[in-house]
Amino acid sequence: MKRFYTVSVFLFIVGVVLLSGCRSPISVVEPAFTTVHIDVGGITDSRGVARAVPQNVASFKLTITAEGMDTIEETFTGSSVTLEVLAGSARTFTLIAYDSGGVKLYSGSKTVDLVAGEDTAVKIVMALLSADKAILSFDFTTQNNPGLSDDSESIIHDGLKAVLAVVPLGSNITSLKPTITVSAGATVSPESGEAVDFSAGAVTYTVTAENETTQEYTVNVTGNRLVVPDATYYSGSGGRIVQINDMTGGGWTARDGTDLGLSVDSDFIPYDVDYDIYGRIYIANYHGTSGGILRLNSLDDTSPTTIVSDVGLVPAIAVDRVNSRVYYLADKGSGYQINRCDYDGGSGYTFEYNFYDAYGLAIDEEGMLYVASSPDGGAIDKIDPSGEGSPLLEYWGLNNAWDVLYKSTYIYAADASSPGKVVRLTKDLAYVDELAGKPGVEDDFHGPHRFLAVLNKKFYLIDEDENEPDINNRLVSFDDITGSGWKTYQNGDDPFSFFNYYGGGLY
């Protein structure tokens, strides 16, 4: 087919009015055109080899642009089209191929000079447009965010299209500028470096591929506050979940059992917490009859979800953020067993192996489980969840194994004896080194019990005095196994509490 495109009509006065009063004729000079034959020369595949146009191409869109010329657009099917185009230099022909649903598949362009009155063949070879549209990295750096004390760490789950960005404790998240990398040729909105308020919850980021298909990612920010399981007021009235902004205790917020939908406060004895890929909070309830797992979108959640109920004492929980699973320990009468479910409590499964007085549970990035149990002083066990829960490896160098933590390729064990210590192990449970409080000062560990499930780089744990209950129950934080950055916090006459409940009758 052949199209004619006249951009402008130029009128030139080619004569003058003579003194005699005679007028010269006015001549209209038509613009000069070139007949252009557009041929789809082929498609360049992913290896750079040109081949015939694939059958999934349903139509083409041709755009012709040049300085001083109106843009020409032409849609056609088949593999060629003929047009009349205003002659001139540097005419750029851009061709895009679409499938039947209007999705861009290929594109190519070519710039040529057109000579008036000539027939010109323009052959355009197109390359595949990428459909890749993934977030590859999502970070908050101190360079772009001077208010942060350290760079963030992020967990990206491409299957769920979710990002959990972990910032240092106490960070202001109302205006953060992320540094984002996406698939080659793709773009993201909001853009990398654009300030965004994450304080209200999830923010949606849209990645657009070269072929203009899109994918949304849900981004949550966590780590800016501490969520602490305060197991009980030792009077027996029940426990609470406490949230603070930092180790000064600012922003103190507490919620009891009735705040979380339980019938009475005494039904709530929170022993452990962890977070899923969306930043939601999972709470292990260590209660003899009402034990189970609660899930909160945030500590302000007015409608928490009970995902596991009436399973008795639940002392520990570990969320597998890679495979969207929740593991928890539960007292089955003859011992503690590892249980597994999905984020909503479905697909429940109980492993056969029994542990004696097991209170700590952790999971590494490969899905291997680690259990802190206390037979003959205490052990850390490594478990392959693809089996029946029996230990693969064990470490026995503890006096009172109470909790276990996986962080930055190492396993950390809390020894709750007094004076206590934190022991660092390899993932194969080989001893590396340990921290027995900050040396030379009064602030040694009294009885470290529970690591807090904070995903940022530092360590936070509940340190309990051996003479429970006691005002010395407190939080301890430090940067690494050397004890650098050591800080402590206790809330006056209302300290954090954490007990074994031996003979307590609090259930």
| Helices within 132-220 (DSSP H only) | none
40-78: per-residue pLDDT in tens?
877 776 666 777 888 889 999 999 999 989 999 999 998
Residue 314 is predicted with a pLDDT of 95
pLDDT of residue 139 exceeding 60, the answer is: yes
Q: Distance between terminal CA atoms of the chain?
A: 85
Q: Are 448 and 421 in contact (CB under 8 A)?
A: yes
State phi, psi for 259 to the nearest 5 degrees.
-65, -25
pLDDT of residue 353 exceeding 50, the answer is: yes
| Helices within 5-125 (DSSP H only) | none
147-196: per-residue pLDDT in tens?
999 999 899 999 999 999 999 999 999 999 999 999 999 999 999 999 99
Of 458, 411, 464, nearest to 229 (Cα)? 464
The pLDDT-based confidence of 236 (bands split at 50, 70, 90) is low
Which letter, b or e, does each residue of 457-468 get, where b requires 16 or more Cβ atoms within 10 Å of its Cβ? bbbbbbbbeeeb
The pLDDT-based confidence of 471 (bands split at 50, 70, 90) is low
Would you tell me how many other CB atoms lie within 10 Å of the CB of residue 129? Answer: 19
Residue 36 is predicted with a pLDDT of 95
The pLDDT-based confidence of 22 (bands split at 50, 70, 90) is very low
More confident residue, 13 or 432: 432
What mean pLDDT is reported for the chain? 87
pLDDT of residue 503 exceeding 90, the answer is: no
Which of 213-227, 311-325, 458-472 has the weakest average pLDDT? 458-472
Bridge pairing between strands 80-86 and 2-4: parallel
The pLDDT-based confidence of 141 (bands split at 50, 70, 90) is very high
* Strand, helix or coil for residue 485: coil
Residue 429 is predicted with a pLDDT of 98
Residue 344 is predicted with a pLDDT of 96
Q: What is the pTM of this model?
A: 0.84
Alpha carbon distances (Å) from 38 to 73, 79, 411, 419: 13, 8, 65, 83
Which of 115-124, 287-296, 463-472, 484-493 has the weakest average pLDDT? 463-472
The pLDDT-based confidence of 419 (bands split at 50, 70, 90) is confident
193-213: per-residue pLDDT in tens?
999 999 999 999 999 999 999
More confident residue, 6 or 301: 301
The pLDDT-based confidence of 241 (bands split at 50, 70, 90) is very high
* Strand, helix or coil for residue 340: strand
Q: Which residues pair with 435 in a beta bridge?
A: 422
358-386: per-residue pLDDT in tens?
999 999 999 999 999 987 778 999 999 98
